[in-house]
A and B are shown apart, each in its own frame.
Chain A
Amino acid sequence: MTQVTMIVNGDSRTASVPPETTLLMLLREHFNLTGAKLGCDVGDCGACTVIVDGKPVNACLMLAVQAEGRSVLTIEGLATQNELHPIQKAFEDQASLQCGFCGPGVILSAKALLDNIPDPSKQEIRDALSGNLCRCTGYTKMIEAIQESARVLRGGSADQAV
């Protein structure tokens, strides 16, 4: 067993896990943060996407021990008790998800994009989502929601949209 300590959604968390535990399994099984999903488990589908030190990564392709000392953001860290994050709000408003399995990963990919590029082009959004597979709704409404939340996050009014 190896002891790992990291910041998860702003709080310091410690666990003792076998070295072969992935970051995804640590989050889901040990920290009970089940927002990040186990999809393909080989880094293709993006359902396990979390943000580590500001960068979106596949949690299924990282060992838990590799996150030692790092800062991890999962979907559970976005909303507050009272309010959804603007990206989550836009996804809800625009009905951008159907089954929702890909949602946490998609929204975190969008968060990482908007943190770096506040006003992304459609192509930049598509590129940012190329590692997140959605097999039901499609991407059109996701892209619209990301454009909408980008406007809100830049301080524009949501009503000007559409």
Chain B
Amino acid sequence: MRAFEYVVARDSAQAMALLAEHGSSVKILAGGTDLLVELKSASHGPQVIVDISRAEDMKKISLTGEGLSIGALATHSEIMDSQLIRDMFPALVDAAHTIGAVQTRNLGTLGGNLVTCVPSMDSGPTLIALEALVTIAGAEGRRQMPLTDFFVGPRKTILKPTELLVDIIIPKKNLGKPVHFLKSGLRKGQALALVNVAASLWVDKNTFLEPRIALGAVAPVVMRATQAEAYLAGRAVTPEAMMEAGRIAAGEARPITDFRASAEYRRDLIAVLTKRALENAVLLAQAKLKGVKK
């Protein structure tokens, strides 16, 4: 690795000050599972590394007035261990569980996964299906936006060099919304997704209400399958409807052929995984309805 100056930020305010001071010569170190790999192979690197991994104010997982707030520095393991998340959104636990392996999940952070912004990121689809928002801190204060707007392209987010992703918020209206995540990779461990899918929905009088489908690894960034969503909204919950939604989702994705899989294979996976994610979310929704009736 090339030499750099190393500074520690104890909280987000200190991190912001360091970013303002050093400008674009800075790289932020959170979990390091992507950054260190990049630094080892880069011919020219940043002059300063700001280590935010000990910024306690960015690690909290809590319910706030806005919804479920997950600090950007929560590690994938911490998300898997959080009782709050386990109770409310097991799909987020499932998604975290498919990332890398134990060692990398202990280091890697949710914020880091989003900021690195590879198309196959496993933490993206569930959050997008739950219409998550992100909070960004900058010199002019904080701003919030939907996670879908945060992603700009492969390895590119809307963040400016002096800005920091602070937390991820699942809005109040979606707390407890049934959601399911599925991933298909070439192996269970240490494998990038060929396709990953998350579906969230409510079931009302046996019809789909606010169905949301998010697809990963099949477009430049994690995408919503809005045509499939529109097809389902207000429609009766039937196996045929879910199968058709899978077909529509496969049609609106833009998968590529690479050494892992062909675009055609990925389209087939999207259709099947979307259908299964919907079926599982429906089961959750029906279980919830029964629970309420009791």
Contacts and interface: CB of A to CB of B under 8 A. Distances in A.
Is chain A's interface secondary structure helix, strand, loop, or mixed overall?
A: mixed
A112 B102 CA distance: 10
Nearest to B106: A55
Contacts of A57: 103, 106-107
A63 B32 contact: yes
Interface string A70-113: 00000000000000000000000000000000000000010010
B103 A66 contact: no
Contacts of B33: 43, 58, 61
A43 B6 contact: no
A68 to B, nearest CB: 8
Given A55-B106, A60-B36, A131-B189, A66 B53 contact: yes
B102 A130 contact: yes
B40 A56 contact: no
A20 B2 contact: yes
A18 B53 contact: no
Interface string A131-147: 11100000000000000
Contact of A130 (B1, B6, B188): B188
Given A63-B6, A66-B53, A130-B188, A56 B32 contact: no
B292 interface: no
Contacts of A35: none
A63 B77 CA distance: 20
Counting chain A residues whose Cβ lies within 8 A of the other chain, the interface size class is 20 to 34
B4 interface: yes
Interface residues of B, number: 27
B103 A20 contact: no
Contact of A131 (B1, B53, B104): B104
A2 B6 contact: yes
Nearest to B2: A20
Contacts of B3: 18-20
Interface in B34-56: 36-37, 39-40, 49, 51, 53
Interface in B60-118: 77, 100-104, 106-107
B5 interface: yes
A115 interface: no
Contacts of B189: 127, 130-131
Nearest to B191: A130
Interface of A: 2, 18-20, 22, 41-44, 46, 49, 55-58, 60-63, 65-66, 109, 112, 126-128, 130-133
Top 3 nearest A-B pairs by Cβ distance? A131-B101, A130-B189, A19-B6
9 contacts: A19-B3, A42-B40, A43-B36, A57-B106, A61-B32, A63-B29, A130-B102, A130-B189, A131-B104
